[in-house]
């Protein structure tokens, strides 16, 4: 398994060098995180940005709802991937399982594509040709080399606005304002706003959440499979009947909860990768090899009818 990546705040000098190497020698965006005396990152990005904070850039093109091209004041250009959000795809195939409750059908995919176009139009209407301020995330660059940033237009966080209006889901990773983004997503979903019109109502199952993913087992992972686990919690008010529900990772490995498995309100259930005797608080996958990737994976839960009710991503 790959080694888990630890996020650290990026010193200003290192960030400047990184942007120069990446071909972005313009003004360096202010980091979203700073460090405490102990060296631990602490989030500081606000939902509204006071004048003078962040870096002023011009949006020269909008690729889709969550990706824009920018120009710095010195003329250099860069591509920004909006931090913490994911709008439905316009140019490639959508995966409905990434959007909780959206059926994995052609109708579900088509519905998401329509809202992907709507998200793109919305971002264009607010950002295209505008001067905005950007505040970069702790990781600075994503896997495709794009700058990860919050974008503020007229002092308002556009990333958060996308979630509030139902144009995007929250892309789970370590970033400032995650809790506020998740709360906004739940409000939009409960109001069937935007893309959540594509979802099948699952009121009795919406309480299931992933509380912990412990992907990096101590010692040799292949010999300590039960130290690789996922902790689920029932955040709802009704007991969940989990019998027949399945859990899957990004590679398609699946585990089915045994018949009779229940989870009371505010109770926790730990799914261990290895083998053991199932109890009310612990169940065992029975896998012969590690399942959860240390460097990042997805936890998707389907109810007994095959509808996705939970999609959790970690980095």
Q: Which residues are catalytic?
A: 81, 89, 146
| Bridge partner residues of 163 (DSSP) | none
Please return the burial class of 152, using the count of CB atoms within 10 Å of its CB with bins 0-12, 13-18 and 19+: buried
What lies within 8 Å, CB to CB, of 41 at 6+ separation is 7, 8, 9, 33, 34, 35, 138
Tell me how far apart the alpha carbons of residues 248 and 287 are, in angstroms, rounded to a whole number: 13
């Amino acid at each position: 398994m790959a080694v888990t990546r630890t996020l650290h705040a990026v010193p200003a000098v290192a960030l400047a060098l990184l942007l120069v190497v990446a071909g972005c020698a313009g003004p360096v965006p202010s980091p979203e995180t700073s460090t405490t005396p102990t060296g631990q990152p602490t989030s500081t990005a606000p939902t509204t940005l006071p004048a003078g904070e962040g870096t002023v850039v011009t949006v020269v093109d909008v690729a889709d709802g969550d990706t824009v091209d920018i120009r710095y004041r010195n003329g250099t250009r860069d591509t920004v991937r909006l931090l913490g959000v994911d709008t439905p795809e316009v140019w490639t195939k959508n995966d409905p399982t990434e959007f909780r409750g959206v059926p994995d059908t052609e109708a579900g995919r088509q519905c998401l594509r329509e809202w992907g176009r709507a998200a793109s139009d919305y971002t264009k209407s607010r950002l295209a040709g505008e001067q905005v301020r950007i505040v970069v995330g702790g990781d600075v660059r994503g896997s495709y080399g794009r700058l990860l940033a919050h974008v503020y237009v007229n002092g308002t966080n556009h990333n958060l606005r996308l979630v509030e209006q139902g144009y995007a889901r929250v892309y789970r990773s370590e970033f400032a304002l995650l809790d506020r983004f998740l709360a906004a997503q739940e409000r939009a979903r409960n109001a069937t706003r935007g893309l959540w019109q594509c979802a099948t109502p699952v009121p009795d199952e919406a309480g299931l959440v992933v509380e912990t993913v412990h992907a990096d087992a101590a010692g040799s992972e292949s010999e300590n499979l039960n130290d690789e686990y996922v902790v689920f919690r029932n955040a709802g008010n009704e007991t969940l009947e989990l019998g027949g529900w399945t859990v899957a990772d990004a590679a398609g490995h699946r585990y089915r909860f045994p018949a009779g498995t229940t989870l009371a309100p505010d109770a926790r259930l730990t799914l261990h990768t290895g083998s053991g005797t199932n109890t009310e608080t612990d169940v065992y996958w029975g896998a012969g090899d590690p399942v959860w990737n240390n460097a990042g994976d997805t936890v998707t839960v389907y109810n007994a009818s095959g509808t996705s009710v939970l999609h959790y991503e970690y980095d």
